[in-house]
Amino acid sequence: MSCLFCKIIAGEIPATKVYEDDDIVAFNDIAPQAPMHVLILPRAHVATLNDLGSEHDAIVGAIVRRAAAIAKARGYDTSGYRTVFNCNADAGQAVFHVHLHVLGGRKMAWPPG
Ligand code: 5GP
Ligand code: ZN
């Protein structure tokens, strides 16, 4: 198993987990780009957004709804927050296990860099 995030899920590499259930895991990004920077991912390994199928629809929904729940718990639901799935090279995807970035606690620029 060479995937970094699979190793975190398995507990082989430490991370500050903020949520987990049977299907998804959320932990703090090691290099936070905002006061809140959480990554939410499926336990099952899926490399990129391109590899998602209809069998993943429920889990993707759970990831997105968990992002909203975590943002609300931190008090960012009204002020706002950013969610990002990077896919492949031009988007800067560095870890090839699908993950949703959830950033909040500062004003975000648009368009993104
Ligand atoms: P990507 O560029 O693939 O969308 O995002 C990968 C994210 O994983 C980056 O924001 C990076 O800081 C984070 N990351 C990389 N290695 C680790 C690690 O070992 N632990 C944690 N918690 N985050 C990591
Ligand atoms: Zn993985």
pLDDT digit of tens for each residue in the chain (113 aa)?
699 999 999 999 999 999 999 999 999 999 999 999 999 999 999 999 999 999 999 999 999 999 999 999 999 999 999 999 999 999 999 999 999 999 999 999 999 98
Q: How many CA atoms lie within 13 A of 92 on its CB side?
A: 5
Query: Separation of 99 CA from ligand 2 center, angstroms?
Result: 10
Which residues have CB atoms below 5 A from the ion given as ligand 2?
3, 5-6, 45, 97
Phi-psi region of 105 (alpha: psi -120 to 50; beta: other; left: phi over 0): left
- Alpha-helical runs (H) found in 10-96: 57-73, 88-91
Query: Separation of 33 CA from ligand 1 center, angstroms?
Result: 11
Active site residues: 99
pLDDT of amino acid 70:
98
